[in-house]
Structure formats: structure tokens, C-alpha cells
Amino acid sequence: MINRRRVLPGIVLALTMCCALQPALAQNGSADSIKIPFETYKLPNGLTVIMSVDKTIPTVAVDIWYHVGSKNEMPGRTGFAHLFEHVMFTGSGHIPYGLHDKYTEGVGGGNNGSTSNDRTNYYETIPANYLETALWLESDRMGYLLDTLDIAKLNAQRDVVKNERRQSYDNQPYGRVSEIFAAAMYPKGHPYSWPVIGSMTDLSAASEEDVKAFFRLYYAPNNATLAIVGDFDPAEAKKLVQKYFGDLPQGKAVERPSVPLGKLDASKRLVYEDRVQVPRLYLQWPTVGFKRDDNYALDVMSSILSGTRTARLTKALVYDSQLASQVFAFQNSSEDVGVFQVTVVPRPEHSLTELEAAVDQVIQKFLAEGPTPEELQKAKSGMELSFLRGLESNLGKANQLISGSMFYGNAAQFRTDYEKTLAVTAADVKRVAAMYLGRPRIVLSVVPKGKKDQASKAAESEAVSMLNRRGGKS
Amino acid sequence: MKTQKRRLALATALLITLAGIGAVAQQPLDRTKIPQVGPAPVLRVPTWTKTQLPNGALLIVSERHNLPLVSFNITFVGGSNQFEIAAKRGVAAMTTSMLSEGTKTRTGDQLSDALQLLGTNINSGIGGEDGFISFVSTTKNFDATLAILADMMLNSTFPADALERLRARTLVNLTQAKDQPVLISGQVFSRVLYGDAHPYGQRTTEASVKSITRDDVMAFQKKYFQPGRAIITIVGDVTTAKAKAAVEKGLAAWTKGGDKPAFDYPKLPELQPARIYLVDKPGAAQSVFNIGLPGPPRNTPDYFALQVLNTILGGQFQSRLNANIREQKGYSYGVNSNFAYGKGPGPFRAGGSIFSAKTDAALIEFMKELKGIVGERPITDEELKTAKDSLIQGLPQRFGSLTGISGVITSLVVLGLPDDYYQTYAKNVSAVTKEDLARVAKRYIDLNHLAIVIVGNRAEIEAPLKATGIAPITLLDIEGNAAGSAAPSSSNND
């Protein structure tokens, strides 16, 4: 269980942002339960601090996000932000390797880190009396990581990350789909055109100097937000934050170049042969990132199209025509870009070409008529429950508060998200459906080895020529 | 070198402090000093009430009012191992899936729409030795959701066309499972350890799914969802009186019937000398390991010693297995071990996904760690203390969510453990000695009878595995049947 740690959830962020937006009731618009008590302040060195007390159980979550992810990497050094995340667990100036685990999992708590396109986070969940220990651990690697970093440590983690890539992508049926889409959706060199895990070749290329430069630029207090959530005394905690983080020097301001949205001039049809027995059809349209208001309507649209048996795609493909055994639709949004994706698993006797036509039929009808009032209400009805359930976890609250603070400058963004989702109208959904699903898209067929003819419109589909990144022998 | 750098860093920190960021004159911080830790928080175990209902079910209520949420769960003692026959494996899962396909008064679509408007979901599932039907709702939607749950559990109509649709979906899922080395490895491991005659060795197959009829499903529903084996656990923003009234009203139609099954399992197949069972997955980037043998049931008096032992061996990130094979050697993204317990002899297993080129080297390390824990590398005081601290101080975390509380309380009843189990947990863990660990390690990690299941690219890994000399190799197919021995490489098989 625990050993799947330091997993790389490229989707973590999407989940934090979108899943507050799962189906939910609130037809009377009352959102009194949508609150998290918190306070926030900034240290002179630029570190943003958020505190939220919850004494339900005697534990504390210490969570820190750095505003750096795979999009800050350079082509040729992909996978670097995530590799770096691993390096952060190898000890720092005053803390030898192993102590971090000893004072977290070894005292009944836990720790982990994760990397997405946009940010990297680290956390400790500990018994309440270990708060100071956790702040000591986190501050030392923010301030003194490079003191003890050497090439041996880097190489050891490089091997682990390559194994992570093998396990989560290469040895996973359909595991390379996100990577194929990223490369097809964005022009070469675009910050979202490579996968968070990176390529085997690039992982091998990272040098000790790369690591150091990356750290100096991005792992400074002014590029980080710290949250403490759980059973603690805020006055005492503020003193501890000052004690451990107050003397860390401010870093250079981080430049944030504007990143263009994905845009396709014409639709693309791709086919990829994988070690699978059941083919799958994937459709992807470029949309917007989570900071654009259209994202709210796109989320609502995804609940109307799939996720329940009466959702449009599910009802049509899985229940009525029974062409498919499963179908999923979702808006996957990052800070700067987003995509809307539909995934279809066929029943054996039906071709991907048939499925694509069936998906299109549902979408065309939806574009023409938009959602019904009942569909809209169902899509919003689960929001309150899923928000409340999120409040059961200190770490969940910490992530919620930090993401608001980091991406919007507003830790209470969860409330805005809630209200803006409630405010989505049928006209909004109809508009975004037409605007995004009416545009060119990428159609990807994943088929068994040697069965390219099973692709949707096989004759028009281009084989995906991924570089051989399995890198097994390198 | 290290020390020098450290001093330098300290000096920098001092300078910055003096430079006046903080107006208060601070002592330079000695970061090498491990912070003092205050006393451990007092353990607060949730309280609950138990009521025996007239229909035979046990009602457990635990109040927690911090959020307007209620968790409702019915657990049934006994699962697919007690209520399915080998030829109809999968009927339990099919039945739970069909509960949402329609009732006497609502179609499947109407059930779905009603739940969507309540903002929640009703889940049901049946495992090897118990099953459940459950939901979490807001306080205000509790009664309405409970009414739907009762309707699904008691009045489902099991439409024939829905059965065919679910059958087709299950068959697609079984086909997709053949592409998942991790699933294959687990299934083959169970079959090798327990054989076809023991429920632990059986699984749902294409043949069993094809044989399930609507009558089977309806009979299963009647037989299984009975109050005589049920524990109803309600946790959250509800009073005991209100919860009792809600259940009496909402489940009024659920009348007496059923009892807790006996957990009589057939005798285990005779243990075989250690052997490598190799399943070919051509082109696989990793080899998926499961190493182990049948272990003790949950009611073993050795439970606490085994929990401590496994924490040291493979229960955590810094456990011996992961510290060595992932962190030091870099052969894997993570390896672990566990005892699965259960009412019967659940397995001990160690394993993980290993880079193909390091398959042989990793097997050598797995064996080294297993030999180490049974005696070659005695457990240190430090390891013992950390493992105990981790188990004891991790307890409060289990009471963090409503479903977490529901699970820990219900499991006491299901497993027949005392009500003060969590109050005495620390004492029981603390009592474990190094001698206990040495004894249980020898007893339960029987190196001479390990089954070593490896699913990977045979052409690449077979010869190196053979060269380790650790155990003879038998080839199996992905179902766990003897595979043809036409070797893709030049190595021989015995």
C-alpha cells in the first residue's frame, strides 16, 4: 500500500479543481456549509502561509506547494520537475537520508510528494505533537537541499523514476495515451507538449548542475505556499513557522511566460498499437485552463455527458444501443490549458468506426438542443456533498486552500468555484459545447498489435511514431 | 566536507537574520537539533451504541456532529467464498450490480436520477468473506437516500436484458484483465497457493460468467441480503434515537431471516518445495513478483507480532524490502509485503514490479531480505521501536472520516474482536518482543515452501532466473495452467 508513494499524479490538480464540481444539490442556492475557516499571511521572504484549525482528531497536515511543474522544464530535460521531487526525499543539509521517513511514517504519520504540469507538492501528515518536526523537515530541504546533494543520490532516484515510468506508463495497457495526446495537441516545444514523467532519454541526461540551477530558481520561499491544517495552536504555529522558515533567503522572482491554449487547425486521426486485446477510442478537443470561466460550464457538461447511467453518452452507448461497455467524458484542465476528452471501450462485436459515429450523433444532438433544466440540476446536485466530504481530510483542505492561493491569489477560491458552478446556465453549457466540441479534434484509436485495421476510419489514420522511449537497455 | 558546508549554511542564516528581517534578536537556529516532541495526544476512540433489532440485525450508531454528513452501511458477514459455488463465480458481483437496474416501482433510470438529485450514490459489493451496501449523504438527505437503498436491496426486479448487458461488460473486463500483468500475477499466485478446490484459489472466469442465469441472481439476492447476518452501522450527524427510528421506518419491510455462515474451508493443498512459477508476458517492461505461502487467519494469537514484523519487513516505505530494492538498488518503483489474514489462511506475500533487466538480481535481494528477517539479520531495537511507534501512533488517523470510523467499528464485530480493542491496542503492540518476532518469522515465512510467481518477458528473464539457482522453474499460462515448454530462448526447464 504505502510503497506506491511518490507517485506522480499528473491529474492531482485536475482533481482538486474539478471534483468539487461533481453532481450535487443546491437548487435553493444555499451554500452555508461551503466554508473552511482559515487565516493567511506572508513572511518577509515571500513565503505564503495558510492555517486552518480542525481538532476532530489529534493530527496535523503540513503541506507545501512550489509553483513549478513540468511546464517549466526545457525541451531535452523533460521529466525534470518530477525527478526533482524524488531528490527532495534524499536528505538535506542538516537532515540525513531516512530521517524524513522516520519522523513521519515511523511515528504513525505519512509523507508524499506529487508533481503536475503546474506545481509540485510535498506533505507530512503527523500526530499533532510532531508539528514542529515536520516544519523542521520541510524548511531544511527548502533552504539546504543542495548542501548534501551529489550525483550518486541523483542517479539512484533516476533509476526509481525510470521504474515508475515503466510501471505507470510502459507496462500499463493504454498507459501511453496521455503522452501521445500531449505530443499531438501542442506544437513542438509547447510547455504542455510533454508528459510530466518525461522521456527516458531526457531522464538520463539530467546533470547535477541542472538540478542545482532548477532548485535555486524555483525552490525559494517566494515561489511556495505552506499550509498547516489540523489540531494545533495557531499562535504557537506562527512562532514555529518564523523559527524554521523566517531566515530562508528570498529567491529571484520567477517569470511566468504566457502559454498559448491548444489549437488545432484541422482534426487529426491517429492509431497506436499497444499490447492490448480490447481496442479503445479516444477523442480530445482543446479547451481552456481552470482559470477561465468557461471551465465551469465544461465541467458541468462532462457530468451531463457521462458518469451516471442517464448521462447522455452513457445512456446512448452503454444502455440503449449497447455498442460500448464503458464511456467516460471529462474536462481535464491545468493552469494554462485544458482538454475535453471522451474515452470509449467497445463491446467486442462493434468497431471503433461505429463508436465514433455514435459519439458524434449524441454530441450533435446535444450541440443542437443544449441541456435540459433537470440535467443541469442533476449535474450540480452532488457538489455540496463532495465538498463536505473533502473537509474530512486535513490534507484535502490544505490542498484546496493552497491551490486557491497559488493560482488565484485567493485561498477562499473554493467558494467562488462553488458559486460560479451553481450559476452555470443551460445557455452557458450550450455555448461551450458549440464553441469547443464543434472544433477540430484528435481521434486516437488504440488497437492490438498488428491490428491497425481496427482503428476508427483506419484508412485515414496516421500511425503514431513514438520514439522508442522504453529505454529498457539504456 | 559535509561539516564545512553545514557551518557555512549556518553562517549565512545568521547573517540574514542579523540583516534585520526579524526585528527580534534571534538565537541562530541550530538545525542539526531534532525538535523536542511533546507528549503524545490522548487517544480518543469514538464511542458507539449497539442495538439488537427484532429482525436479527445489529444496529451500531456512532455520533459525530462536526459536519452535516451521515454514513450508512450494512455489512453482511460471509461473502462470495461462502455463498458462491466454483462454477458460478461472479454471481455475487452480478447481483450487486443488478440492484441498481430497477425495482418494483422505479426503473434503473429513475433510481439513478433520484440519487443524482440527492447528490449521492449507493454502493454495493461482496468480497471473499463479507459484503456491504452503503452510502454517505448530507444530513438532510439521509431519510430519502435510505428509502432508495431499502428499495434496491429488497424490491429489485433483475430485468433479463440488464443481466445480458452486465454479462457483456464483465466479459470485456475479463478480457482487459489479461493485459494487466499485476492482476495476472495476483490471480496466478492465489491459484498456485490454494488450488481450485479452495475458495481462496478460485476466481470469476469467462465460463462462470457465461453460466449465470437470472434465476441464479434472484436466488442469490434472496439468500444473501438477510438481516440475520447484517450489521447496520450509522456514523455521523445523527442521534442514536433518530438513527434507530430511521432504520425501523426505512427497513420495516426487512423481516427476520438468515444467519452468520460458518467459515469452514477445505484443507489446504500440501505445501510444495519452493519453486518459481514463470508466466510469459512477451515484451513486458517489468516483471511482477508475488512471493509467499498460505498464512494464519486473523484470529491468530500471533496477530500483533506479525503486524510489527511486517512493518519492519515490508509494510512501509523504509521497511527492509523497499529500502533495499527500491531505494538502494533502484530495481523498482516500490516493493512491499503483507499478511492478508481473513477467516481462513490468507496468504503472506512479498512482491512488486521489477525492471525486467533486474529480475534475477531482485529475486536474489527478495530472498536475502526474507532470510534476513527469519534470522540471518536479527531485528534491532531501533527497528522494533519505530515499528511499534508507527502502529500505535497511527491509530487516531483511522478515526478521521465517517467511513473510516464505520469501518473500524464494524470490523470489530465482523472479526469477533472485543469492544475495547482500540483502547488496548497500544498495550498489545507494546508487549511484542524481539523473541516473539523471531518465532513468528520462522513459523510463518517458511523459506523452503515459498511460491515465487513472476509475470514477465520470458525471453529476457528465464535464463537469468535459472542461473540464480534459487528454485526450479515451472512455466504457467496467464490462467495458472501448465504452459507448453517450447522455450523462446535456449534455456531449459525442468
Return the C-alpha cell found at B145: 437516500
Measured between CA atoms, the residue of chain B closest to residue A168 is B333
Q: What are A63-95's pLDDT values in tens digits?
A: 999 999 999 999 999 999 999 999 999 999 999
Q: Which amino acid is at A437?
A: L
Rounded to the nearest angstrom, the minimum Cα separation between B347 and chain A is 16
Nearest to A74 by CA among A205, A231, A240, A236: A205
pLDDT at A414 over 90: yes
What's the Cα-to-Cα distance from A374 to each of A24, A255, B105, rounded to whole Å?
Answer: 12, 45, 21
pLDDT at A211 over 90: no
Q: Which residues of B touch A243 (CB under 8 A)?
A: 26, 29
Q: What are phi and psi of A277, to 5 degrees?
A: -105, -25
Return the C-alpha cell found at B217: 441472481
Rounded to the nearest angstrom, the minimum Cα separation between A140 and chain B is 8
Q: Does B29 touch chain A (CB under 8 A)?
A: yes
Measured between CA atoms, the residue of chain B closest to residue A315 is B109
Sequence-distant contacts of B27-32: CB under 8 A, at least 24 apart: B29/A243, B29/A244, B29/A247, B31/A93, B31/A94, B31/A95, B31/A136, B31/A140, B31/A144, B32/A94, B32/B6
Q: Does B38 touch chain A (CB under 8 A)?
A: yes
Measured between CA atoms, the residue of chain B closest to residue A379 is B116
Pairwise CB contact (< 8 Å): A326 & B169: yes
Pairwise CB contact (< 8 Å): A275 & B179: yes
| Interface with chain B: mutation pick from A28, A53, A171, A320, highest number of B CBs within 10 Å | A171
User: Helix (H, G, I), strand (E, B), or coil: what is residue B375?
Assistant: helix
Mean of the pLDDT values across residues A41-46? Answer: 98
Spatial distance between the Cα atoms of A55 and B267, rounded to a whole number of angstroms? 49
Confidence bin at A433 (pLDDT 50/70/90): very high
Q: Does A235 touch chain B (CB under 8 A)?
A: no
Spatial distance between the Cα atoms of B494 and B207, rounded to a whole number of angstroms? 31
Top-confidence residue, A469 or B220: B220
Confidence bin at B413 (pLDDT 50/70/90): very high
DSSP classification of residue B282:
T
Q: Does B20 touch chain A (CB under 8 A)?
A: no
pLDDT score of B485: 60
Report residue B176 CA to chain centroid gap: 22
Q: Within 10 A of A74 (CB to CB), how many other CB atoms are there?
A: 12
Mean of the pLDDT values across residues A206-227? Answer: 93
- How much of chain A, in percent, has pLDDT values that exceed 90? 84
Spatial distance between the Cα atoms of B212 and B221, rounded to a whole number of angstroms? 13
Nearest to A148 by CA among B9, B231, B64: B9
Rounded to the nearest angstrom, the minimum Cα separation between B316 and chain A is 6
Measured between CA atoms, the residue of chain B closest to residue A23 is B119
Pairwise CB contact (< 8 Å): B13 & A247: yes
pLDDT at B10 over 50: no
Contacts of A314 (CB under 8 A, 6+ apart): A305, A306, A307, A308, A327
pLDDT score of A25: 36
Q: Which residues of B touch A309 (CB under 8 A)?
A: 100, 108-109, 112
Rounded to the nearest angstrom, the minimum Cα separation between A34 and chain B is 11
pLDDT score of A336: 97
Q: Does A98 touch chain B (CB under 8 A)?
A: yes
Q: Which amino acid is at A352?
A: L
Sequence-distant contacts of B397-401: CB under 8 A, at least 24 apart: B397/A57, B397/A59, B397/A108, B397/A109, B397/A125, B399/A57, B399/B44, B399/B45, B399/B46, B400/A56, B400/A57, B400/A59, B400/A392, B400/A393, B400/A394, B401/A389, B401/A392, B401/A393
Please report the beta strands in B45-104, taking only residues with DSSP state E, as ranges in sequence order: 49-52, 58-63, 69-77
Interface of B with A in 377-416 (CB under 8 A): 386, 389-397, 399-402
Spatial distance between the Cα atoms of B446 and B461, rounded to a whole number of angstroms? 25
Spatial distance between the Cα atoms of A370 and A355, rounded to a whole number of angstroms? 22
Top-confidence residue, A283 or A11: A283
Interface of A with B in 1-30 (CB under 8 A): 1-5, 23-25
Interface of B with A in 160-189 (CB under 8 A): 165, 168-169, 171-173, 175-176, 178-181
What predicted TM-score, i.e. pTM, was given to this entire model? Answer: 0.92
Measured between CA atoms, the residue of chain B closest to residue A390 is B401
Q: Does B428 touch chain A (CB under 8 A)?
A: no
pLDDT score of A148: 93
Pairwise CB contact (< 8 Å): B330 & A160: yes
CB burial readout A291-317, b (16+ within 10 A) else e: eeebbbbbbbbbbbbbbbbbbbbbbbb
Q: Which residues of A touch B317 (CB under 8 A)?
A: 2-3, 5, 101, 105
Return the C-alpha cell found at A34: 461551503
DSSP classification of residue B491:
-
Q: Which residues of A touch B332 (CB under 8 A)?
A: 160, 163
pLDDT at A301 over 80: yes
Q: Does B371 touch chain A (CB under 8 A)?
A: no
Instruction: Say what the ipTM of the complex is.
Output: 0.90
Mean of the pLDDT values across residues B152-179? Answer: 96
Q: Does B34 touch chain A (CB under 8 A)?
A: yes
Return the C-alpha cell found at B424: 488496548
Give the closest of A99, A106, A242 to B389, CB-based.
A106
Nearest to B275 by CA among B469, B483, B485: B469
Spatial distance between the Cα atoms of B48 and A242, rounded to a whole number of angstroms? 42
Residues paired with residue A48 on neighbouring β-strands, in sequence order: A42, A225
Q: What are B192-202's pLDDT values in tens digits?
A: 999 999 999 99
Report residue A373 CA to chain centroid gap: 31
Spatial distance between the Cα atoms of A263 and B310, rounded to a whole number of angstroms? 52
Q: What are A144-165's pLDDT values in tens digits?
A: 999 999 898 899 899 989 999 9
B130-138 and B473-476 beta bridge pairing? unpaired
Pairwise CB contact (< 8 Å): B390 & A171: no
Q: Which amino acid is at A447?
A: V
pLDDT at A314 over 80: yes
User: Helix (H, G, I), strand (E, B), or coil: what is residue B179?
Assistant: coil
Give the closest of A45, A377, A385 to B138, CB-based.
A385
Q: What does the H/E/C string look like for B305-326?
A: HHHHHHHHHCCCCCCHHHHHHH
Return the C-alpha cell found at A20: 468539487
Q: What are B275-291's pLDDT values in tens digits?
A: 999 999 998 999 999 99
User: Helix (H, G, I), strand (E, B), or coil: what is residue A263?
Assistant: coil
Q: What are B338-395's pLDDT values in tens digits?
A: 999 999 999 999 999 999 999 999 999 999 999 999 999 999 999 999 999 999 999 9
Rounded to the nearest angstrom, the minimum Cα separation between B185 and chain A is 13
User: Counting one residue from A and one from B, how many pairs have CB atoms under 8 Å apart?
Assistant: 268
Q: Does A410 touch chain B (CB under 8 A)?
A: no
pLDDT score of A473: 27
Q: Does A173 touch chain B (CB under 8 A)?
A: yes
Contacts of A6 (CB under 8 A, 6+ apart): A85, A86, A89, A112, A113, A114, A160, A164
Spatial distance between the Cα atoms of A154 and B326, rounded to a whole number of angstroms? 14
Confidence bin at A31 (pLDDT 50/70/90): low
- The C-alpha torsion from B25 through B30 and B33 to B39, rounded to 10°, is 10
Question: Which ranges of A270-393 would DSSP assign to H, the alpha helix?
Answer: 294-305, 312-313, 352-369, 373-381, 383-390
- The C-alpha torsion from B450 through B456 and B458 to B459, rounded to 10°, is -140
Q: Which residues of B touch A98 (CB under 8 A)?
A: 318
Q: Which residues of B touch A391 (CB under 8 A)?
A: 67
Pairwise CB contact (< 8 Å): A59 & B400: yes
Pairwise CB contact (< 8 Å): A156 & B330: yes
Return the C-alpha cell found at B189: 499466485
Q: What are A396-410's pLDDT values in tens digits?
A: 999 999 999 999 999
CA angle A246, A250, A251 (to 5 degrees): 150
